[in-house]
Structure 1
Amino acid sequence: MTSFALHFLRHGAPATPGLLLGRTDMAPTAAGIAACAAQAAGLAVETLISSNLCRARDAATLIGAAAGLPVVSDPRWRELDFGDWDGRPGSAIDAEALGRFWSDPDAHPPPGGEPWSALVGRVSAALADLAPRPTLIVTHGGAIRAALHRLCGFDQRQLWSFDLPYAVLVSLQVWPGESPHAQLVAIRP
């Protein structure tokens, strides 16, 4: 089966950095949008997909206009829902509870939030719906990690070792099918 290029672009810096932003729809900075556009410049893609949150969607809109591509908005590419912690700095959250979450986000999701497996499930469904053609997805750090888990088989400990700063570009070569798999090609901060 023929493989295809799949690129993930993390949204640019939000207006207020340092917060746990899941469902909170905080606007990105102009510099953050510009950093995303610079990362995407020259990518040969046929499909452009974005999380429906503005911190990803605003960059995708600019990228789409420059490339002459429509943006497909898909809420399955949203960040993990941090529930009661959403929109708060890590320093405002009980350190032990936050530590349990980071060590096992499925067993210890944020209060009122989404377990890791739910994020993996919706990202896996979104991946299954992709057409096998060069694609750019503008999304969030958690969704990128979930995709790497699904496509490359990285376990949770390995996923947290990846530094995925704002506007990072992660490129894969994907072999679709019943059990899709991918090769990590590059991470470009």
Structure 2
Amino acid sequence: MKITIVRHTPPEVKEGVCYGQTDLHVDPTFKSHLDQIQSMITTDENTHFFTSPLTRCKVLCKAIAGADAEIVEDDRLMELDFGSWENKKWSNIPADQMQEWGKDYLNSKVHGGESMIDLNERVTAWWNELIEKHYNEEDEDTNIVIFTHAGVIRSVLHILLEMPLKKAFSLVVNYGGMVEIKMLDKQNAQIEFKR
């Protein structure tokens, strides 16, 4: 079973703005990113497509999957909810809140949204469900393509690589970046960073 997880392309947002679950459209560079991503993903009529319901992921998913493809949207694939910080400039967030969050960002919900632990718990539940439903030792040709956000990708890598969550959230996942995962069994995988 092959799973390709793709981060959305650059969103249309001013630099320095916090935008976890803020629903943003893709920016004008979308087409150039799309061409690169399309050249690196193999799909057919049997490919399973999953996406975050946020526009920046759905637009990319629909462009890759095609108009007739069945696409599953799942809220668990959304980025971290930054609560009251959403759509604010990072520089306008009170310094004391930033300091409190920075001390323990894995558990802190100072912004009224989710903690990194919350995000990881929902992604883990989704991942376990995905593997249970689609992994079949007799069917190695299963192909799944997922369009999501950097935080979700880091959480999946945390699960697969059994690395500390804090270290996983320090991984850089570029816009349009993708990870190709070949499941060897339900717990073990070969992982390749494609972009």
User: Where in structure 1 are there 5+ consecutive unaligned residues?
Assistant: none
Shift of 1:70: 2.3
Q: Who is 2:183 aligned against? A: 174
In structure 2, distance between residues paired with 1:159 and 1:103: 17
Q: Whole-Å Cα distance in 2 between the matches of residues 101 and 175 of structure 1?
A: 38
- Equivalent in the alignment of 2:73: 73
C-alpha separation in 2, matches of 1:162 and 1:94: 26
Structure 2: runs of 5+ lacking an equivalent: 136-141
**Aligned residue among 8, 19, 30 for 1:11:** 8
Q: Which residue of 1 aligns with 2:51?
A: 50
Report if aligned partners of 2:16, 2:91 keep a CA contact under 8 Å in 1.
no
Deviation string, structure 1 residues 52-94 (Cα, Å, up to 9, x no partner): 010101110111118x632211111000100111112221223
* TM-score of the pair, normalised by structure 1: 0.84
Q: Is residue 25 of structure 2 the alignment partner of residue 27 of structure 1?
A: yes
User: Does the Cα contact within 8 Å between 1:12 and 1:35 map onto a contact in 2?
Assistant: yes
Q: Which residue of 2 aligns with 1:63?
A: 64
State the alpha-carbon separation in 1 of the partners of residues 144 and 173 from structure 2.
19
**Equivalent AA in structure 2 for residue 153 of structure 1:** E
Aligned to 2:192: 185
- Shift, 1:13, TM fit: 0.9
Q: Which position in structure 1 is the counterpart of 2:170?
A: 161
Number of positions where the alignment pairs a residue of Structure 1 with one of Structure 2:
182
Aligned partner of 1:154: which letter?
M
Q: Which moved more, 1:109-118 or 1:30-39?
A: 30-39
TM-score normalised over the length of structure 2: 0.82
Q: Which has the larger Rg?
A: 2
Residue by residue over 1:130-176, the C-alpha shift from the partner in whole angstroms, topping out at 9 and shown as x without a partner, is 21322111001111111111122122342233211211112222244
Alpha carbons of structure 1 residues 124 and 30: separation in structure 2 relative to 1, 3 Å: same
- Give, as a single letter, the amino acid of the residue that structure 1 aligns with 2:2: A
Structure 1, residues 97-117: CA drift from partner, whole Å, max 9, x if none? 335435532322342110112
Contact 1:152 1:184 in 2 (8 A): no
How far 1:123 moved relative to its partner?
Answer: 0.9
C-alpha distance 81-162 of structure 1, shift in aligned 2 (>3 A)? same
Instruction: Answer yes or no: is the 8 Å Cα contact 1:123–1:146 preserved in 2.
Output: yes
**1:21 CA drift (Å):** 1.5
Matches within 5 A, 1:125-136: 125-130=125-130, 131-132=134-135, 133-136=142-145
Shift of 1:35: 0.9
Q: Distance in 1 between matches of 2:193 and 2:171?
A: 12
Distance in 2 of aligned mates of 1:50 and 1:156:
23
AA in 2 matched with 1:158: K
CA contact (8 A) 1:12 1:33 kept: no
DSSP-derived class of the 1:8 partner = strand
Q: Percent identity?
A: 26
Task: Look up the match of 1:98.
Answer: 98
